[in-house]
Amino acid sequence: MKILTIVGARPQFIKSAPVSKALRDAGHEEFLLHTGQHYDHRMSQIFFEEMGISKPNANLGVGSGLHGQQTGQMLIQIEEILLTEKPDWVLVYGDTNSTIAGALAAIKLHIPVAHVEAGLRSFNREMPEEHNRVLTDHCADLLFCPTQTAVDNLAHEGVSQGVHLVGDTMYDAVLQFSKIAQQQSTILQNLELMPQEYLLATVHRPYNTDVPENLANIISAFLELGEPVVFPVHPRTRKVIEALDIDIPADKNLRLIEPVGYLDMLMLEQNARMMMTDSGGMQKEAYFFAIPCITLRPETEWVETVETGWNRLVGADKQQIIKDVQDFMKPQTHLPLYGNGTASELIADKLA
């Protein structure tokens, strides 16, 4: 069986790594297509190196741009490759512009589409990701859901055929790479951090980067927390901080660093006292490691993390961020919400 996998953005390299391994271990042929949506070494190549992902068979080099322009360029180029490669399946991940471009290109050519991380919903139509998710799910022939909530969301939209609850491939990745991170990462020493004595933060959603007041509130809250905050900065966010000339004194508790590789990130996460993020993947990783999480968004797709008390939605409200970081109590229980680490094998089986 020939599978054409489409990735393009940082979280997709991580989500796809264990699935590509499972597909190849099962003897399937995989053509790996990188759209080039992310292209900086620390946003792309580093994940291929650290996670042992094969070199992409094609990199479209699409780069950054307006949504229509970026998605349209991907669509044109993916179609050409599908016509040449004639795969049995097109496999797409998550909710980025690379996801919807891949799904659209495939259905126009009547090639079946499999969607990993199907059924997630924020119910916020202002997020570009929400349109990408809904449309991709409605193109897909096989829908691999990480949670029962995702299965239920699809059922509410009348989608039940081809839906499989398999667990979360990011959990598979965490299980596969945590030990390697502990053995290889020197990030704590490099940054002179003590376990449990710092907070870890990331911000990149348009809700926070494209509303100057929101980003200013978040950074101001971080500065007032009074305990060390490590903040690997997404290039999108770096550009806005520079454009708005937001003042971050070097002698304060807030430390801006370049985006880190996966192994360093796993190490930073496991040892943080708490995480503050608007990232979807990092909300889950906080849960996997049983680290309390403050989500810098008004809603989340990963509702189980909130319902079980491990995640709190605070948006960009400065006082709320400070209050929740200070009074968060770790819940007593921690349930296995995202499968048992075999999502990737289940996906390979179902595709076969």
Binding site for ligand UD1 (CB under 6 A): 9-11, 37-40, 43, 64, 95-97, 128-129, 204, 235-236, 239
Shortest Å, Cβ 306 to ligand UDP: 16
Residue 65 or 331: the one with the smaller Cβ distance to ligand UD1 is: 65
Please work out, in degrees rounded to the nearest 5, the angle formed at the alpha carbon of residue 119 by the alpha carbons of 117 and 125. Answer: 110
Please state, in angstroms and rounded to a whole number, the distance separating the CA atoms of residues 114 and 100. Answer: 12
Catalytic option among 34, 38, 115, 204: 204
Shortest Å, Cβ 91 to ligand UDP: 17
| Residue 265 binding: pick among ligand UD1, ligand UDP, none (C-beta 5-8 Å cut-off by kind) | ligand UDP
Assigned token pair, 30? 């995989």
Axis crossing angle, helix 343-351 with helix 10-25, rounded to the nearest 10: 60
Residue 88 or 130: the one with the smaller Cβ distance to ligand UD1 is: 130
Q: Are strands 2-7 and 29-34 parallel, antiparallel or unpaired?
A: parallel
Shortest Å, Cβ 300 to ligand UD1: 13
CB 171 within 8 A of CB 338: yes
Residue 11 or 292: the one with the smaller Cβ distance to ligand UDP is: 11
Residue 122 or 178: the one with the smaller Cβ distance to ligand UD1 is: 122
Please state, in angstroms and rounded to a whole number, the distance separating the CA atoms of residues 119 and 104. Answer: 17
Shortest Å, Cβ 287 to ligand UD1: 17
Shortest Å, Cβ 86 to ligand UD1: 27
DSSP strands (E only) in the chain: 2-7, 29-34, 58-59, 89-93, 113-116, 142-145, 163-165, 199-202, 229-232, 254-257, 274-277, 293-295, 311-313
| Residue 140 binding: pick among ligand UD1, ligand UDP, none (C-beta 5-8 Å cut-off by kind) | none
| Residue 167 binding: pick among ligand UDP, ligand UD1, none (C-beta 5-8 Å cut-off by kind) | none
Please state, in angstroms and rounded to a whole number, the distance separating the CA atoms of residues 294 and 163. Answer: 31
Residue numbers at the binding site for ligand UDP (CB under 6 A): 10-11, 14, 202, 204, 232, 259-262, 265, 279-282, 285
- The CB density around residue 25, as the number of other CB atoms within 10 Å, is 11
Task: Confirm whether 204 is a catalytic residue.
Answer: yes
CA 234, 201, 270, 347 torsion: positive or negative? Answer: negative
Residue 162 or 206: the one with the smaller Cβ distance to ligand UD1 is: 206
User: Which active-site residues does the annotation give?
Assistant: 204
